[in-house]
Chains A and B, each alone.
Chain A
Amino acid sequence: MLRFFLAKLLYLIPTFIGITIVAFGFVRVLPGDPVLLMAGERGITPERHAELSAQLGYDRPFLIQYLDFLGRLFHGDLGTSLVTKKPVLTEFLALFPATVELAVCAILIATLVGVPVGVLAAIKRGSLFDQISMTGALVGFSMPIFWWGLLLIIFFSGTLGWTPVSGRISLLYYFDNVTGFMLIDSLLSGQEGAFRSAASHLILPSIVLATIPLAVIARQTRSAMLEVMGEDYVRTARAKGLTQRRVVSVHALRNAMIPVITTIGLQVGVLMAGAILTETIFSWPGIGKWMIDSISRRDYPVVQSGLLMIAAIVMIVNLIVDLTYGLINPRIRHK
């Protein structure tokens, strides 16, 4: 197992170097110039422009800048935002919990709804429930989520007034950020109603973000279940006269879960992409919105390090998924 782990890890090193090159390279060839954006309509003289560029270190050769970037990376320095002049890491850590909170809620919704629906649809293959739920899953899978979010806002916040429009918690509640997770902090604060407020702010964004993973998980669960139920050992179990319930829960489900867990793990990348759109629509102060804003402001260090961090997270989660898969399914290890 350790060898498998080390081999996987070794395998990641060239990929990670590639990621740093992409993050650095792309961002440095972005057209547009943060110095110009700072100057705005007023314009800036070529001399002053050169002076400011030199101050920011953008007049040096690319390779030197890249090596400098790597060197600082090894010391845990992700650079400083050009807009706020604050360390990128500080900003990332301030916003990251918001995205994690949203993503965790979304994946919970997707799993807790998706898996049972998929199992049920598989058991009752061809039934009305199967047809409706799988059609629903396909609709969810085809959903432009930015539009879906707008619709939910119009209906639930606008017409019905049930949910708040945006933000993470009502501004009436004010307490210290202990963990950065609003649901936990609101409970810790002990303020009455704070948790309810945080939860009600979270509900629409999580539903929107959960839509596509939910559809994928439901479909994957159903087909994994169908496949497993066709296997010999399940047929044998059935032939032995075990109840349907026992066959499903003991034999089929356990084996079907292997690909499903992988699928859930692979949704992390999907979630990060979805977070960009969801956070934009709901003014959710997280990483996705931060990246969009930073791209449009040409805040190079933020885009660079943000890309890097996000890719690293996706990579690590995929590694964990791989390892879990290796644990559950020993056949993979020896390939």
Chain B
Amino acid sequence: MTDMTPERLSTWTIRRRMAAEFWFYFSQNRGAVAGLAVFALLVLTAVFAPLLAPHDPILQYRDALLVPPAWTADGSAEYLLGTDAVGRDILSRLIFGARYSLFIGIVVVSIALFGGILIGLLAGFFGSWIDAVLMRVMDVILAFPSLLLALVLVAVLGPGLTNAMIAIAIVYQPHFARLTRAAVMAEKNREYVVAAQVAGAGRARLMFKTILPNCLAPLIVQATLSFSSAVLDSAALGFLGMGAQPPAPEWGTMLAEAREFILRAWWVVTLPGLAILVSVLAINLMGDGLRDALDPKLKRS
């Protein structure tokens, strides 16, 4: 046990240095910092939604149907961004919608990440027929356009937010599986792994403690990418009526409900889409920053 102590200490120091270095490169990228700021704001909005929202997002003000935003001629200060067809406050719905988007992103990425890593580790570590079967299954999933496959999956499972998230996660996890597998294949025969093996490390320990941490960087980048895609795809499913169901204030579902008003009430159409765009953009900016900071190849150029 005694000989472990210095190693642990040094690991900690290395980690701290790595983090400092990471932050240095990340903060070089102004876009990434802006993205992070917007994302932080989004998280705060989601967490404190009940405090921030001026109204209940599903409460219907029957005498205030389709009120335009406050700054227009017919607007009312009561409803800053106007109301929808059944008199619900759009600002409050957008604020609560942030919860849905973040929740969807987190759940989808967690499921896809977990499933993908597991499959990738198994395939990469054991090789032979396990690898062949698992990777063919991944190929099959990747052969379908993601949105189409997600649509059919949701149709199978039944429309709804949970099923939409499951469907999107299933469609995304081959990317993680492939990345993990490739990383494992590359790392498997490196000296440090062989050393650990010789030292008598068990297979599970080898897979999760030794190899996995060394292929985290591409997975993190892929995870941010998937996070933003998940927000987009779930909104698309909601728009096609297969995602979150009304009256949930999910942005894509709001757009779907608003479609019949495109000629008459621009605000019910424009604002939810803008919210989607801004949050996806923020996450992608962050993702770019992450990639630049984590990928040593690009740092050079």
A residues whose Cβ falls under 8 Å from a Cβ of B:
14-15, 18-19, 21-22, 26-27, 29-31, 135, 138-139, 141-144, 146-148, 150-151, 153-154, 158, 223, 226-227, 230, 269-270, 272-274, 276-277, 280, 291-292, 295, 303, 307, 310-311, 314-315
Given that A138-B284, A144-B280 are contacting pairs, would A310 and B145 also be in contact in the complex, using a CB cutoff of 8 Å?
yes
Known: A144-B239, A151-B270, A226-B301. 12 other contacts (CB 8 A): A15-B139, A18-B139, A30-B156, A139-B281, A142-B280, A153-B262, A154-B263, A154-B269, A223-B298, A230-B300, A269-B145, A311-B143
Chain A CB within 8 A of B104 CB: no
Residues of A close to B240: CB separation below 8 A? 276-277, 280, 292
Residue of A nearest to B272 (CB): A147
- Within the assembled complex, what's the spacing in Å between the Cα atoms of A221 and B300? 18
Residue of B nearest to A295 (CB): B155
* Contact indicator A277/B262 (Cβ below 8 Å): no
- Within the assembled complex, what's the spacing in Å between the Cα atoms of A218 and B277? 19
- Within the assembled complex, what's the spacing in Å between the Cα atoms of A155 and B239? 20
Interface residues of B in 132-151 (CB under 8 A from A): 136-137, 139-141, 143-148, 151
Residue A147 contacts which of B228, B255, B263, B301 (CB distance < 8 angstroms)?
B255
Chain A CB within 8 A of B158 CB: yes
* Contact indicator A19/B255 (Cβ below 8 Å): no
* Contact indicator A141/B284 (Cβ below 8 Å): yes
* Contact indicator B284/A142 (Cβ below 8 Å): yes
* Contact indicator A276/B301 (Cβ below 8 Å): no
* Contact indicator A27/B273 (Cβ below 8 Å): no
Chain A CB within 8 A of B31 CB: yes
- Within the assembled complex, what's the spacing in Å between the Cα atoms of A142 and B300? 27
- Within the assembled complex, what's the spacing in Å between the Cα atoms of A280 and B241? 12
Residue A277 contacts which of B236, B276, B280 (CB distance < 8 angstroms)?
B236
* Contact indicator B284/A146 (Cβ below 8 Å): no
* Contact indicator B143/A15 (Cβ below 8 Å): yes
* Contact indicator B281/A142 (Cβ below 8 Å): yes
B residues whose Cβ falls under 8 Å from a Cβ of A:
31, 136-137, 139-141, 143-148, 151-153, 155-156, 158, 228, 232, 235-236, 239-240, 252, 255, 259, 262-263, 266, 269-270, 272-273, 276-277, 280-281, 283-285, 288, 298, 300-301
- Within the assembled complex, what's the spacing in Å between the Cα atoms of A277 and B256? 12
Pick 11 A–B contacts, CB within 8 A, sort by A.
A19-B140, A19-B144, A22-B144, A30-B155, A31-B156, A144-B273, A146-B235, A150-B255, A230-B301, A276-B145, A276-B148
* Contact indicator B144/A146 (Cβ below 8 Å): no
Residue A314 contacts which of B143, B156, B262, B272 (CB distance < 8 angstroms)?
B143
Given that A15-B136, A144-B276, A272-B145 are contacting pairs, would A150 and B262 also be in contact in the complex, using a CB cutoff of 8 Å?
yes
* Contact indicator B236/A139 (Cβ below 8 Å): no
* Contact indicator B145/A150 (Cβ below 8 Å): no
* Contact indicator A29/B156 (Cβ below 8 Å): yes
* Contact indicator A150/B273 (Cβ below 8 Å): yes
- Within the assembled complex, what's the spacing in Å between the Cα atoms of A139 and B155? 30
Given that A18-B140, A144-B280 are contacting pairs, would A269 and B269 also be in contact in the complex, using a CB cutoff of 8 Å?
no
Residues of B close to A273: CB separation below 8 A? 145-148
Chain B CB within 10 A, most for which of A21, A138, A230: A138
- Within the assembled complex, what's the spacing in Å between the Cα atoms of A26 and B148? 12
Given that A27-B152, A153-B262 are contacting pairs, would A18 and B273 also be in contact in the complex, using a CB cutoff of 8 Å?
no
* Contact indicator B151/A142 (Cβ below 8 Å): no
What is the distance, in angstroms, from B244's C-beta to the closest C-beta of chain A? 15
- Within the assembled complex, what's the spacing in Å between the Cα atoms of A153 and B266? 12
- Within the assembled complex, what's the spacing in Å between the Cα atoms of A24 and B103? 32
Instruction: Rank and list the top 7 A-B pairs by shortest CB-CB distance, nearest first.
Output: A147-B273, A18-B140, A273-B147, A273-B145, A142-B280, A272-B145, A142-B281
